[in-house]
């Protein structure tokens, strides 16, 4: 249980949060028309007769959008409704040519599901927590109005109009900004794993309506407000922080929270009233008579299920249980699609090159992927050409390291040159002399010389001053110009010093 | 030379095929009588060039020895609810006045593909809302018929009143109609022609200005059952652009026409004996039974117990859908825009819609908005949907006992223009016999039975889902026995 509380003048308050996330479905064409969905086209370049609501035009459901919603539902362990229906939500606005949005109020395509947010002490989430998901329904996005193009007129861009959205409605199960942030991040990861939404919050592919209320711990839910269209994880957390404190202030100063829709101002981090419940639209929902009920057949559902990739929780478990990674590494590697994809490619390549099983090299590859390689890249900055960081090149470096041919430091140096030039790592190691000496004879000679030259220290060491071992290692490495295999050096020193 | 305007669809098609006359001669003849019939006000715009171009194409195809389509050489009237490429499409409203689509409705395209041409866009009740063709922004349509001993202009019925008037006046061999709650059958009955509304989904709704999506169906209106069958065949078929379109092959209705009804049962719904029905209508119904019995059918009584709830349910469902379907006429993208000085978006909506919609359209938008409102939805809309299901079940049960149902099309004959305009409820009652089949999505047809006091009366046939053939065959049996040959005397 989170211990997040608002400390009011009259005592502690608990925050109750529910999120409605709108996620744009990844598909070539819109939900009910053949128009393209590509981001960034010229205004009104992607508008079909259906999107513009010309007289007599009819919607035809896009199977791919339906498929993506079903796969998403399956990914959150939700009930899939084999029978669902589209409803019309009626209201007038210039960005909504039909005068209604086709949505699903009464019979959504996806029913109850759930999502796990992981314990994160630092963030204030002491243990794993299941967040319930109420439903996912599919609906049309609206167009865009531009009010700054003309002194007295507004411009309408219908490119986005009719694009498919999934509205993913959580239960009021979150109790802190951190939990809400973790929920959005996890949901985004799942959507991106499944490939049903690109999760690009800056481009508006994902945005959240944030429902917040406060109550005395353990009491009934308070009245909630809904803050619309919040488009980053940080803003979601800010909205909650601000709203919760505002509500506590209102209640403690004798006021009452009114159910209302609010807008977030990212500039000030505050929210303000958009419309109250009294001004709320009567949307006059009713089943869209242009569309038949959506009936999903067994075969379609089976195909959807079969097409699901390994999902974040399962992957994380496998990384720990099968690959032997630390929970921290497993979580870091599975957070983003790009991260695990790069890791798994490199892991397979490295195992192949070294000739061992993946589990045997996983920790080495994980450390390389999470800290060594990003460190080198970051240090190089613009000098690095990321395209040179091929799996083959990195696997070759890791293999040399695994065989003891190069040290960790040499691996970094070689990788640096690879990033700058794209040269072959083995060739670099040879040409640049970036190899460590494992030849016992050469190292043994150096060790003997150092023991002979430091008889006093040998005496002290043998007398019990074990800390001096590092001195001998350092001296040997220095003598070998840093190129001696540390394992061999250690072994020889231990043997000789007794 | 023979007056080619005396021919219907089949005769024109056959005559053009066998070279008795050219399609161009047919088109020119009809263009001429259309131009001469302005007094009927049946057309909103005429398109003589379209008819000629289509005819020339047919003549050229014939000369080249190509196979001709099912409607080759037949110039038709197109209800102005169908979007026609490059030709103004208004739904008889001010709000769409001047709107020229850059697309062609599926049904009209199919007709052009079958070799038909267009004489013009036919007048109708505004947005197909009306039963007398008195709600058009472009003026009333007059029926070519007049009551014995009267010069009063009579209603051609509605909403497909331009269609019925034109076909009855012999200025078009056939016309398209649409039927939401009787808009093909009632005007056909009023004007002594045939009109069929097929099973919901037979004809694509793509490109037809929507009134009530779950009820709207296109159909054919012509002088004979055969002509209706031919034209409906050309209009029907699955359309991937309409999700409610039937994914079924279109039978050869014309080829399978058969007036021999031996072994068939004709149901007579007892609930259709309603107060307020004219004696002449009841008499013609009796006559209809006799004709069908004569054709070999067995007449059986059936019950459709929820009939009396059908009309009220219809006047909830249809306006509800209309209130939403007509939201797109907002002055933003096409059609009328009324933008008073200094006004904002909301003012523009209000002003545009106030100026662009007629009274009947506004009435239905208000009714529809009301029945869908929070707090009223369950009492009206949900309840009406339940009634609709019960009406459909009534038919299902009745069709366990019979193959086709015979009933009057309307409770009265045509009435003078102006008689019912101030009494919407009386006007709505016109469709009391037509609406149940619409709610159930069933194929239904009106065929002329007789003339009473100078005005035609129609009989209605309702069939099982997808059984247009059964409806057409029973219609043919009536047509053969009724021998309806009356033609209105030209006064226009």
pLDDT digits (tens, 9 = 90+) for B331-373: 999 999 999 888 889 999 999 999 999 999 999 999 999 999 9
Instruction: For residue B421, name the pLDDT band (cuts at 50, 70, 90).
Output: confident
Instruction: For residue B13, name the pLDDT band (cuts at 50, 70, 90).
Output: very high
pLDDT digits (tens, 9 = 90+) for B183-201: 999 999 999 999 999 999 9
Mutate to test the interface with B, among A58, A85, A281, A283 (most CBs of B within 10 A): A58
Instruction: Select from A49, A92, A99 the Cβ nearest to the Cβ of B103.
Output: A49
Mutate to test the interface with A, among B370, B372, B381, B383 (most CBs of A within 10 A): B372
* pLDDT the model gives residue B191: 98
Inter-residue contact B145 to B99 (CB < 8 Å) = no
Instruction: For residue B1, name the pLDDT band (cuts at 50, 70, 90).
Output: low
- Is the pLDDT reported for residue B431 higher than 80? yes
ipTM over 0.90: yes
Instruction: For residue A353, name the pLDDT band (cuts at 50, 70, 90).
Output: very high
* pLDDT the model gives residue A486: 80
Q: Identify the H or E element spanning A297.
A: none
Contact B89 A292 (CB under 8 A): no
- B334: chain A residues, CB-CB within 8 Å: 54-55
- Is the pLDDT reported for residue A482 higher than 80? no
| Å between A236 CA and nearest CA of chain B | 31
* pLDDT the model gives residue B402: 98
* pLDDT the model gives residue B75: 98
Instruction: Select from A55, A98, A289 the Cβ nearest to the Cβ of B327.
Output: A98
- B381: chain A residues, CB-CB within 8 Å: 286
Contact A284 B372 (CB under 8 A): yes
* pLDDT the model gives residue A285: 97
Mean per-residue pLDDT, B446-454: 97
| Å between A144 CA and nearest CA of chain B | 14
Least confident of A299-303, A491-495, B169-173: A491-495
- Is the pLDDT reported for residue A386 higher than 80? yes
Q: Is B159 a residue of the active site?
A: yes
* pLDDT the model gives residue A491: 85
| Å between B242 CA and nearest CA of chain A | 6
* pLDDT the model gives residue A459: 86
Mean per-residue pLDDT, B462-488: 97
Instruction: For residue A494, name the pLDDT band (cuts at 50, 70, 90).
Output: confident
Chain A residues bordering chain B (beta-carbon distance below 8 Å): 49, 52-61, 88, 90, 92-94, 97-100, 154, 156, 282, 284-286, 289-292
Q: Tell me which of B105, B155, B159, B438 is the catalytic residue.
A: B159
Percent of chain A with pLDDT over 70: 99
- Is the pLDDT reported for residue A339 higher than 90? yes
Contact A60 B243 (CB under 8 A): yes
* pLDDT the model gives residue B423: 86
Instruction: For residue A469, name the pLDDT band (cuts at 50, 70, 90).
Output: confident
* pLDDT the model gives residue A202: 87
Mutate to test the interface with B, among A60, A280, A284 (most CBs of B within 10 A): A284
Instruction: For residue A116, name the pLDDT band (cuts at 50, 70, 90).
Output: very high
Greater confidence (B424 vs B153) lies with B153
Q: Which residues contact A33 (CB under 8 A, 6 or more apart)?
A: A48, A49, A50, A51, A59, A60, A162
* pLDDT the model gives residue B275: 83
Mean per-residue pLDDT, A14-21: 98
pLDDT digits (tens, 9 = 90+) for B107-132: 999 999 999 999 999 999 999 999 99
Least confident of A432-441, B139-148, B262-271, B466-475: A432-441
Least confident of A281-285, A416-420, A461-465: A461-465
* pLDDT the model gives residue B2: 81
* pLDDT the model gives residue A447: 85
- Rounded distance, CA A69 to CA A488, Å? 58
Q: Is B214 a residue of the active site?
A: no
- B373: chain A residues, CB-CB within 8 Å: 282, 284
Mean per-residue pLDDT, B447-466: 98
Mean per-residue pLDDT, B22-45: 98
- Is the pLDDT reported for residue A4 higher than 80? yes
What is the average pLDDT score of chain B?
Answer: 97
- A61: chain B residues, CB-CB within 8 Å: 243
- Is the pLDDT reported for residue A279 higher than 80? no
Contact B89 A289 (CB under 8 A): no
- Is the pLDDT reported for residue A483 higher than 90? no
Number of CB pairs < 8 Å for A and B? 96
Instruction: For residue A170, name the pLDDT band (cuts at 50, 70, 90).
Output: very high
pLDDT digits (tens, 9 = 90+) for B223-262: 999 999 999 999 999 999 999 999 999 999 999 999 999 9
Which stretches of A368-468 are DSSP H helices? Answer: 373-380, 391-402, 408-421, 425-431, 440-453, 455-462
Contact A286 B324 (CB under 8 A): yes
pLDDT digits (tens, 9 = 90+) for B44-78: 999 999 999 999 999 999 999 999 999 999 999 99
Tokens representing residue B134 in the block: 């008195």
Contact B330 A290 (CB under 8 A): no
Domain B4-261 superfamily per CATH: Amidase signature (AS) domain (3.90.1300.10)
| Å between B269 CA and nearest CA of chain A | 29
Instruction: For residue B392, name the pLDDT band (cuts at 50, 70, 90).
Output: very high
* pLDDT the model gives residue A1: 62
3-state SS string for chain B: CCCHHHCCHHHHHHHHHHCCCCHHHHHHHHHHHHHCCHHHCCEEEECHHHHHHHHHHHHHHHHCCCCCCCCCCCEEEEECCECECCECCCCCCCCCCCCCCCCCCHHHHHHHHCCCEEEEEECCCHHHCCCCCCCCCCCCCCCCCCCCCCCCCECCCCCCHHHHHHHHCCCCCEEEEEECCCCCHHHHHHHCCEEEECCCCCCCCCCECCCCCCCCEEEEEECCHHHHHHHHHHHCCCCCCCCCCCCCCCCCCCCCCCCCCCCCEEEEEHHHCCCCCCHHHHHHHHHHHHHHHHCCCEEEEECCCCHHHHHHHHHHHHHHHHHHHHHHCCCCCCCCCCCCCCCCHHHHHHHHHHHHCCHHHHHHHHHHHHHHCCCCCHHHHHHHHHHHHHHHHHHHHHCCCCCEEEEECCCCCCCECCCCCCCHHHHHHCCCCCHHHHHHCCCEEEEEEEEECCEEEEEEEEECCCCHHHHHHHHHHHHHHHCCCCCCCCCC
Greater confidence (B491 vs A278) lies with B491
Instruction: Select from B243, B333, B381 the Cβ nearest to the Cβ of A286.
Output: B381
* pLDDT the model gives residue A278: 65
């Amino acid at each position: 249980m989170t211990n997040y509380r608002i400390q009011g003048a009259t005592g502690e308050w608990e925050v109750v949060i529910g999120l409605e996330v709108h996620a744009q479905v990844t598909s070539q064409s819109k939900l009910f028309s053949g128009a393209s969905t590509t981001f960034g086209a010229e205004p009104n370049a992607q508008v079909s007769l259906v999107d513009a609501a010309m007289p007599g035009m009819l919607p035809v459901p896009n199977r791919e959008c339906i498929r993506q919603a079903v796969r998403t539902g399956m990914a959150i362990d939700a009930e899939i409704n084999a029978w669902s229906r589209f409803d019309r939500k009626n209201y007038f606005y210039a960005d909504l040519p039909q005068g209604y949005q086709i949505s699903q109020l009464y019979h959504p395509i996806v029913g109850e599901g759930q999502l796990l947010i992981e314990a994160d002490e630092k963030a204030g989430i002491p243990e794993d927590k299941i967040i319930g998901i109420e439903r996912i329904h599919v609906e049309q996005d609206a167009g865009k109005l531009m009010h700054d193009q003309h002194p007295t007129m507004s411009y309408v861009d219908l490119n986005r109009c009719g694009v498919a959205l999934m509205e993913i409605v959580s239960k009021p199960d979150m109790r802190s900004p951190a939990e809400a942030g973790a929920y959005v991040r996890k949901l985004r990861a799942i959507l991106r794993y499944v490939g049903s939404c690109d999760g690009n919050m800056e481009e508006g592919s994902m945005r959240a309506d944030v429902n917040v209320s406060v109550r005395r711990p353990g009491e009934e839910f308070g009245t909630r407000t809904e803050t619309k269209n919040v488009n980053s994880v940080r803003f979601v957390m800010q909205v909650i922080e601000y709203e919760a404190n505002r509500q506590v202030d209102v209640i403690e100063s004798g006021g009452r929270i009114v159910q209302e829709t609010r807008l977030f101002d990212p500039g000030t981090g505050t929210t303000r009233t958009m419309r109250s419940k009294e001004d709320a639209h009567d949307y006059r929902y009713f089943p869209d008579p242009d569309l038949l009920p959506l009936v999903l057949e067994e075969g379609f559902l089976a195909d959807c299920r079969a097409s699901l990739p390994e999902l974040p929780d399962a992957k994380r478990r496998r990384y720990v249980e099968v690959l032997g990674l630390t929970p921290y590494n497993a979580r870091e590697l599975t957070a983003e699609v790009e991260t695990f994809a790069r890791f798994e490619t490199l892991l397979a390549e490295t195992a192949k090159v070294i000739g061992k099983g993946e589990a045997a090299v996983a920790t080495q590859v994980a450390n390389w992927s999470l800290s060594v390689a990003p460190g080198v890249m970051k240090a190089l900055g613009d000098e690095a050409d990321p395209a040179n960081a091929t799996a083959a090149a990195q696997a070759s470096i890791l293999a040399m390291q695994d065989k003891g041919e190069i040290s960790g430091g040499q691996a970094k140096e070689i990788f640096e040159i690879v990033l700058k030039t794209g040269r072959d790592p083995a060739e670099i190691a040879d040409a640049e002399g970036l190899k460590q000496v494992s030849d016992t004879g050469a190292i043994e000679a150096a060790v003997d010389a150092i023991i002979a030259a430091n008889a006093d220290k040998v005496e002290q060491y043998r007398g019990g001053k074990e800390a001096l071992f590092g001195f001998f290692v350092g001296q040997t490495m220095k003598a070998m110009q840093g190129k001696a295999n540390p394992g061999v050096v250690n072994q020889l020193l231990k043997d000789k010093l007794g | 030379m023979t007056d080619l305007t005396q021919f219907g669809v089949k005769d024109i098609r056959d005559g053009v095929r066998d070279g008795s006359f050219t399609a161009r001669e047919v088109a020119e003849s009809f263009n001429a009588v259309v131009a001469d019939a302005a007094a009927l006000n049946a057309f909103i715009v005429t398109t003589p060039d379209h008819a000629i171009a289509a005819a020339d194409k047919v003549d050229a195809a014939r000369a080249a020895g190509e196979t001709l389509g099912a409607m080759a050489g037949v110039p038709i009237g197109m209800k102005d609810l169908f979007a026609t490429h490059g030709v103004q499409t208004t739904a008889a409203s001010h709000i769409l006045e001047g709107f020229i689509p850059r697309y062609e409705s599926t049904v009209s395209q199919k007709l052009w593909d079958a070799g038909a041409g267009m004489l013009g866009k036919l007048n109708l009740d505004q947005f197909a809302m009306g039963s007398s063709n008195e709600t058009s922004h472009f003026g009333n349509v007059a029926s070519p018929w007049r009551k014995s001993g009267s010069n009063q202009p009579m209603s051609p019925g509605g909403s497909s009143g331009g269609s019925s008037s034109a076909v009855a006046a012999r200025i078009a061999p056939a016309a398209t109609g649409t039927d939401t709650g009787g808009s093909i059958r009632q005007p056909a009955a009023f004007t002594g022609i045939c009109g069929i509304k097929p099973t919901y989904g037979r004809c694509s709704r793509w490109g037809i200005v929507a009134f009530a999506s779950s009820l709207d169906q296109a159909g054919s209106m012509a002088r004979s059952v055969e002509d209706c069958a031919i034209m409906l065949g050309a209009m029907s078929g699955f359309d991937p652009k309409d999700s409610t379109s039937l994914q079924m092959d279109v039978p050869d209705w014309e080829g399978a026409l058969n007036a021999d009804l031996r072994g068939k049962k004709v149901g007579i719904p007892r609930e259709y004996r309603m107060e307020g029905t004219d004696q002449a209508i009841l008499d013609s119904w009796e006559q209809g039974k006799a004709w069908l019995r004569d054709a070999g059918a067995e007449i059986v009584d059936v019950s459709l117990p929820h009939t009396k709830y059908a009309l009220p349910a219809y006047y909830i469902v249809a306006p509800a859908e209309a209130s939403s379907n007509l939201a797109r006429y907002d002055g933003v993208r096409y059609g009328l825009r009324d933008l008073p000085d200094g006004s904002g978006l909301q003012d523009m909506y209000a002003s545009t819609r106030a100026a662009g919609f007629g009274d009947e359209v506004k009435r239905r938008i208000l009714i529809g908005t009301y029945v869908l409102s929070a707090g009223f939805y369950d009492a009206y809309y949900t309840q009406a949907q339940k009634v609709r299901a019960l009406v459909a079940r009534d038919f299902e049960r009745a069709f366990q006992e019979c193959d086709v149902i015979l009933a009057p099309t309307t409770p009265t004959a045509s009435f003078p223009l102006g008689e019912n305009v101030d009494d919407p409820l009386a006007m709505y009652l016109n469709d009391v016999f037509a609406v149940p089949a619409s709610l159930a999505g069933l194929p239904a047809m009106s065929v002329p039975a007789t003339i009473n006091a100078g005005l035609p009366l129609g009989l209605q046939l309702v069939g099982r889902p997808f059984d247009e053939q059964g409806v057409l065959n029973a219609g043919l049996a009536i047509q053969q026995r009724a021998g309806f040959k009356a033609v209105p005397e030209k006064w226009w």
